[in-house]
Structures are given as C-alpha cells and as structure tokens.
Structure 1
Amino acid sequence: MSSPLLPSTSAPASTVRNYITQTLITTHAVTPDVAELVAEKWDIGRGHEFRQASLGHLQRVFGDNVGLCLYHAVREASPAPVEVTRLQVWSLAAADITGLLLMGVVILRFMPSVLGLGDQRVDPIMWAANPAWWLAFGVCAVNAAYQRRIQSIRDGLLLVGGWLAFLVGIKLAQR
C-alpha cells in the first residue's frame, strides 16, 4: 500500500489527524482503533505546524516510538529541498542581465520616441541588429533553464525565449 498524501500547509487539525491515522494503518500495520487514539493526541495545529514539527516535539506529543515513526513518515513524504549551485545562480543572473540589456536595445531600436528621440536614428540605436546581444541572451537563458531543470513556468519561458533569441541571433549573423 502507498503512504497517504502529506496534508497541505493550510490543512486543519482534523486533516492532520486523518493523515496520522492513515499513516499508522498503512505503513506500520496499526489497528484503526489504536491509530485513531494516537491521532487524537494532535488536538490543534495546521498542516504547517505538523510538517515543521521536530523529532523531539513529535515524541513529546505521541511518545518516543510513534513520534519517531511519524517524523520519518513526514520527512519521506516531504519534497527534497532544491539545492542551488553557483552555476545556477550565475546562469540565471546572466540571463536576467542580458535579457534586460536586450530589452533596452530593442526599445532603443524600435521605439526611440519612448526616450524622446523622435524619429532620430543614431548608431547606438542600431545595436538591436547586432547578433551578439541575441546570441548572448539565448545562450544564457537556455543554460539557466537547463541548470534549473525547468522547475517553474518562468524557467519554461526562459527556455523558449532563449531558443528564440538564439535563432534570431543566428539569422542576424547570416546577413
């Protein structure tokens, strides 16, 4: 049998007690009557408090043996903390910086009136046609998304945007 799902951080005490009951029944072969008696010891406290409870606290509430079993059940059911490496931090920072620079260059190129330049086109504004900006952002963004293993929507957008910028950079370099 599989272990029950860990209660959400906002779950009420009754949901936590249900989790305790189901965990003791499914993973430790405790009878339902005994499991319910033990679970009743969790009288107040949301899922957040239960998830964050230390081994010592659970042992004081439920006793040494049951507290230890529940502590391990919670730790096994909790997602592992994401370890952030220096390369991930640098990749994301580089993608953010090059993205902001690229956005500034594109604004200068296509919307000079935003900066009060009117229709005036000066050489620095032509930087948007330089493939280096696009390639730099593309490489940094794709690397940052790859390093983070696509953990969020932002990472997915970073990956797609990076590939698109990389392709634009290649097209501009071919001119």
Structure 2
Amino acid sequence: MSKENKKPKAGKTSAPGAAGIDIGISKSDREAIAAGLSRLLADEYTLYLKTHNFHWNVTGPMFNTLHLMFETQYTEAALAVDLVAERIRALGFPAPGTYAQYAKLSSIEEDEGVPAAMDMVKKLVKGHEACAKTARSVFPLADKASDEPTADLLTQRLQLHEKTAWMLRSLLE
C-alpha cells in the first residue's frame, strides 16, 4: 500500500478539525494576542467613527482641507478595522463588534457635541496616538509567540497612526 493510501490510525486525524487550530501558536498565546487585538479593534473603530463624525460636521475656513483629509482617514480606517477583526478570527476567537463592547475596550473617549475644527484636529491626534500605544502594547505578545502576521499588522497600523498624528499635529503649528 502506498503512503498516500494509508488511513490515519484510530484517534488521530491528518488535520485538526474546526475546533482545533494548529498554527504553531498555543491557545493561551492566541487568546492573549486576540484580547490585545480586540482592544486595538475597539480603538480603531472608535477613531473611525470619530473621524467620520468630524468629516460630516467640520466647518470654518479650513473646511475643504479638513473635510477631504478626514474622508481619506476614515476610508483607510474602515479597511483597517476589517484587517484587525479578521486577524482575531484567524487566531480562533470572535471579534468584538458592538458599540457596547467597543466602549468597554477602547482607550479613546467619545465626544459630545461638535468641536471647533482645530479641536477636532487635536482630538484626532490624541486618537491616533492612542491607537499607536495600543498597537505597541500588543507587540510583546506577538513577539513572544513568534506571531509574524500579527506583528506585521501591528507594524502597518503603527506606521499609519504615527504618520497621521504627525500630519495632523503639523496643522496645529
């Protein structure tokens, strides 16, 4: 009998079932990374919502510049939340997806009312810095587990948030 035709021994399977994930990262490490990514997802989504809100409601002499800038930023953020959520799912855990969950997990506060244009910019700087800090806090977990896909995702998010915070801060000078 050729090797290809051999049946697995009783009690063994050739591949883990849906309940078993065998990607070289322990369940406890995957769980810790997913929890960190859930905090990042909450920050990313809260920042997305804040940016979209400011896009709709910005006024003043810099209206066109800020309106277009905020649109670019919330469009990018909409794609980012999907990437973070999908990584959580790939690690075998449900991604948070409700406002209540995000409110508990996010380090970014919601705003009441409509701030002045430059206050919007200041609040978005803080939001991007918060996302960068959250992403950075997950790095040791990914590094410990040799989770390169998560490390890559975190690097991309850090690059974007640090650059965007810098660009927004430049408007305040």
Q: Give the TM-score range, shorter chain.
A: 0.3 to 0.5
Q: RCO greater where, 1 or 2, for CA within 8 Å and sep 6 or more? A: 2
Q: Which has the larger radius of gyration?
A: 1
TM norm structure 2: 0.42
TM-score (norm. length: structure 1): 0.42
